[in-house]
Structure 1
Amino acid sequence: MARTKANSRGYSLRKVNTREVKQRFLIVCEGAKTEPNYFRSFRVPKNVAEIDVQGLGENPSKLVQSAKELNKQEEYDQVWCVFDRNSWTIEDFNNAIKNAEAQGFKVAYSNEAFELWYVLHFEFLNTGIPRSDYLRKLTSLFGRTYEKNSETIYDELFEKQGIAIKNAENLLKQYAPHIPAKDNPSTTVHLLVQELNKFIL
């Protein structure tokens, strides 16, 4: 039988035994490098779950369509679409979320930029700022130049991950009703992070 345990950050993790079927994740990202580099860094044992991360460089609506096509080719247990509000139209952003949910996919969006998730590791941010300001803010928070496509950022932020999750949750609570395209800043990246954490033994 599967057991649960808590990791060093206090989160309940699902212990998966070898008799259980692997969870197969498909994570399709709007960005070609930033988001894929982050999610590929999760240390999920291959005998527990398979994670297919793809950086497609597409707008949100096209991204969801690509996820649908990829899921037809190989059936996944969980499909996640990762994209930003960025400069995309409200219609494109909203339709992408709606279409993803209609397919049974999950969405890890950021309004306005994925870098909001990184900032939340350091501080609670509830004021919308331009995309370019996130880069300057992260440079200040890291105490060095922020590298957008860093392959080590997961490890650099790991110890603060619990803080980021709480900040993201508290940020969403501030919006009622919750309207993703208008709620700036906001993110649901923590939901995907928490799901992946269940499979880290």
Structure 2
Amino acid sequence: MAKRGKTSFNKEQESGEVRVEKWRKYLRFLLVVCEDQNTEPTYIKTFKRHFPAHSLYLEVAGVGLDPLGVVNKTIEKIEELKGLTKREIDEVWTVFDKDDADLNQARAARFDEAFATAKLHRINIAWSNEVFELWFLLHFEEVSPDIPIPRAAIYERLKNAVNNSVGQNVISDGHSNVDIIPYLRSHGSELDAINRAKALARHFSNTAIIGSNPASKMYQLVESLNSWIAYYNFRC
């Protein structure tokens, strides 16, 4: 590999302020569009600071739409970012949950269409069934694939897992709570979360996504981000 130089805190990416003339200095562009407008984007943005300046530019957006809406908005965002950078976007991800996709046929059809549309446009999907917070929970404890877990139970287990790990009641709610994010690294384990998510994926390998509860493919996005972080921080 070529020498990448010293690692430096990427203040430009953290602030979101990139002057037009600096776009050409970035080596790679990665776009992540999230269903949630709060927890998911905040979590993914924590990876930005690990990229050396002008290496990989990570654009993260939260759009507050259902899975098909997220995918369609992602297609728009791709064109917007291409217009700014005058470059092709190297890697694109969407992040969304199963949520109520199985509530009726119309929602199930839109859920399936989200995957078909994403595939057509080469968009990767980091989905969770039922909710994104399952990915956080996997940082703290094992989750059995044998019994589906309703979202309320995930929120409660996550709250208790964080508080038990810290040793005090630092979290009052496990739902859409950005205050949990710092504890993922300080008291949880990303490696354990990845391995646990992979085990769930293997269990549901022959099951339709809409019926794969509990499961999360967030580990694939995290592994991709970590691989690029390692690459751009490589020193000969």
Q: Residue 96 of structure 2 is aligned with which of 83, 101, 107?
A: 83
Residues 89-146 of structure 1 show CA distances to partners (whole Å, capped at 9, x for unaligned) of 2222221112111100100000000011011112221232111111111111011323
Aligned to 1:171: 200
State the shift of 1:153 in Å: 3.4
Moved more, 143-152 or 71-80: 143-152
Calculate the TM-score normalised by the size of structure 1.
0.85
In 1, distance between residues paired with 2:2 and 2:127?
A: 31
Distance 1:128 1:160, change over 3 A: same
Paired position in structure 1 for 2:162: 142
> For the Cα contact (< 8 Å) 2:30–2:59, is it kept in 1?
yes
Look up the SS of the partner of 2:127 in the other structure.
strand
The Cα of 1:50 is off from its aligned counterpart by 0.8
**SS across alignment from 2:204:** coil
Partner of 1:188: 217
Identical amino acids, percent of aligned pairs: 30
Which structure has the highest strand share of the two? 1
SS of 1:140's equivalent?
A: helix
C-alpha distance in 2 between matches for 1:48 and 1:155: 25
Letter of the aligned partner of 2:202 in structure 1?
A: K
Closer, same or farther: CA 181–147 of 1 in aligned 2, 3 Å = closer
Structure 1 contact 26–53 (Cα < 8 Å) conserved: yes
**Comparing both structures, which one devotes a greater share of its residues to helix?**
2
Instruction: Return the letter of the residue paired with 1:186.
Output: A
- In the TM superposition, what whole-angstrom CA distance separates every residue of 1:132-165 from its partner, at most 9, and x where no partner exists? 1111111110113235444453332125000000
CA contact (8 A) 2:26 2:57 kept: no
| SS at structure 2 position matched to 1:67 | helix
Structure 1 gaps, min length 5? 5-19
**TM-score, length of structure 2 as denominator length:** 0.73
Instruction: Give me the CA root mean square deviation.
Output: 2.0
**Equivalent pair of 1:117/1:187 in contact (CA under 8 Å):** yes
Q: 1:166 deviation in Å?
A: 0.2
CA distance in 2, matches of 1:113, 1:81: 14
Distance 1:157 1:192 in 2: 16
TM-fit CA distance, 1:2:
3.8
Are the structure 2 counterparts of residues 147 and 138 from structure 1 closer, same or farther at C-alpha, using a change threshold of 3 Å? closer
